Amino acid sequence: MLTKTAEHQVNFVIDFDSTFTQVEGLDELAAIALAGNKDSEKIVGEIKAITDKGMLGEIGFADSLKARVALLPAHRDHVNTLIEFLMGKISDSFARNREFISMYRENIYIVSSGFKDFIVPVAVSMGVKEENVFANTFTYDAEGNITGYDESNLLSQDKGKVKLLQALQLEGDVYAIGDGYTDYELRESGLANKFFAFIENIERQKVVEKADEVVASLDEFLYINGLSRSQSYPKSKIKVLLLENVHPKAVAAFKNEGFQVELLKGALDEEELIERIKGVSILGLRSKTNLTKRVLEHPNASRLMAVGAFCIGTNQIDLAECEKRGIAVFNAPYSNTRSVVELAIGEMIMLTRDIFTKSNKMHQGVWDKSATNSYEIRGKKLGLVGYGSIGTQLSVIAEAMGMEVYFYDAVDKLALGNAKKCKTLEELLSISDFISMHVDGRKTNSNIIGEKEFAMMKDNVIFINLSRGHVVDIPALVNALKSGKVWGAAVDVFPYEPKTNDEEFINELRSLPRVILTPHIGGSTEEAQANIGEFVPSKLLQFMNNGSTYGSVNFPELQLPALEDAHRLLHVHQNVPGILAKINGIFAKYNVNIKGQYLKTTNNIGYVITDVAKEYADEIVEELKGLDNTIKFRMLY
């Protein structure tokens, strides 16, 4: 860990534009000064192009600066406007690490080829010493117009940063942090011990190739060097793998947090997932990818901390194995219920009005204006197999449309409205005009509707399955359709589904009349996917950033308060007697001040969260990790 001792003093030389702030100050000044000018876009574009060439070392810096200022018709008032703008454009990782700036302010130097006129107010507002800010200065005429700059300033010259550091003669090591070639020149000259290419705001490949280290944020720089920081781990090192083309809102949620995100459009089989999961901490999937025990026990999955199912069901995930390994799993139990319900209602109406037969005839030029085989759904009996979040919502809407609703569920459920509970599945099947499946994907639900069950149904029943593909015996459904027992069917889920849109869908239901086939799109509406794209990442981020597990389907549920002025130690362990006593014994041994402690268990694992005062012995962490029966341990602050 770096210290400020005389024996090992470290000086931090930090660039300003696109490093300390998110933007290039001179470019933004041009945009402000030229606002309303008909040639604004052209001139600002020219200035930015010159900036980029200078930052990449393609032209000399002195020439770059002279050319840009010559294009700049700015006034002192424009500089003041720029200062206000830059106050809101401080790089996120710098803004959250004021404590580092305060702690090392004697050794932090802002060295920029920009201009003190706008740099000093912004840097000083963050705790940087004014005398440690080195940059160019504008010259003005009597009316306050910028006429040029002080050309005697070392930083206006080629290799200006090198010349300045030679003049400063800093004692101790020098770490240069920046996004441009002029920052690398400090390392090239031997004046800086290391050059860290900062890519939070912009990544210049020619600069990255020259760097000792590439850091995606100040947090990452501080983490690498063992320095005080606002985050216990650099989020740019956390890899998120999102499968099956989840909604862009999910991708944005993780990227906005600074995580490293990879998005794949299709599903992965077991072998592909084993290969792709290497180094992944957060996995997001939908219904087609199976997260099996074999995948989870592979060394490639050793860093996995959390899984998000961007759907309702979780039967594609080995929840028990995830729990055993301390991996929290979250899903979206309610986000797409309305979409599934609307599809079910729509399909019931389409089938009972025999719309597809009439539509196909119309496309063939046949005008069949007849009421034959066309009925209302009002007054008909709807039988719901499964009365969970989708079944109950369908129940309410169907009843509002005049249907009589019956339901059967293996678990005792409270009926909503005038819905009636059937004591047995057989009772439900025998009385229903419509049967709609809404059960979960557990293995015991395999083929719960087969030849025997179809035989129990009324003649000319309409059958709908929007739940899971394996709950219905497809050959039995085909026979029931061909015999006329089932008048029409709508099926959205299948025992085997193509992994991508390029794979052919093969199923015995193809080409049968009065059968609506949809490619597992029950919850695939823009609204539902957007809701899921927000809901699941929010749960995963709460777990990663706060430790909260509320809403997890396999983990002890804890909704934790915000972490304030403390470090949070999270310990997942096998649920055996005495673990909490051992944990607290370690805290007592080192005289740690506990600010809060939370415990929740399942039959198999325990989850202890302890908030402690920031000052404690480093040995505590190692002892907590080394406790018998420990599954996972991590820290947050």
Residues recognised as catalytic: 468, 497, 520
In angstroms and rounded to an integer, the radius of gyration of the C-alpha atoms of the chain is 32
Look at residue 311 and give its three-state secondary structure: coil
In 3D, which of 530, 522, 524, 555 has the Cα closest to residue 540? 555
Q: Are 523 and 514 in contact (CB under 8 A)?
A: no
What is d(CA 189, CA 517) in angstroms, rounded to the nearest whole number? 69
User: What's the angle, vertex CA 235, arms to CA 265 and CA 293, rounded to 5?
Assistant: 55
Strand 630-636 relative to strand 567-574, pairing: antiparallel
Q: Are 133 and 121 in contact (CB under 8 A)?
A: no
Q: Tally Cβ neighbours within 10 Å of residue 213.
A: 15
Strand partners, 13: 109, 176
Residue linked to tokens 């409205």? 417
Look at residue 354 and give its three-state secondary structure: coil
Backbone angles phi, psi at 464, to 5 degrees: -130, 130
Strand partners, 317: 291
What is d(CA 20, CA 14) in angstroms, rounded to the nearest whole number? 7
User: What's the angle, vertex CA 611, arms to CA 588 and CA 103, rounded to 5?
Assistant: 100
Q: Which amino acid is located at 450 in the chain?
A: G
Residue 137, token pair as written in the block? 């200065």
Q: CA–CA distance from 554 to each of 89, 341, 366, 632 (Å)?
A: 41, 27, 56, 15
What is d(CA 76, CA 53) in angstroms, rounded to the nearest whole number? 27
- What residues contact residue 181 under an 8 Å CB cut-off, 6+ apart? 54, 55, 56, 57, 204, 206, 207, 210
Strand partners, 497: none
First-last CA distance in the chain: 18
Q: Which amino acid is located at 388 in the chain?
A: G
- What residues contact residue 341 under an 8 Å CB cut-off, 6+ apart? 390, 393, 394, 397
Residue linked to tokens 């006129």? 117
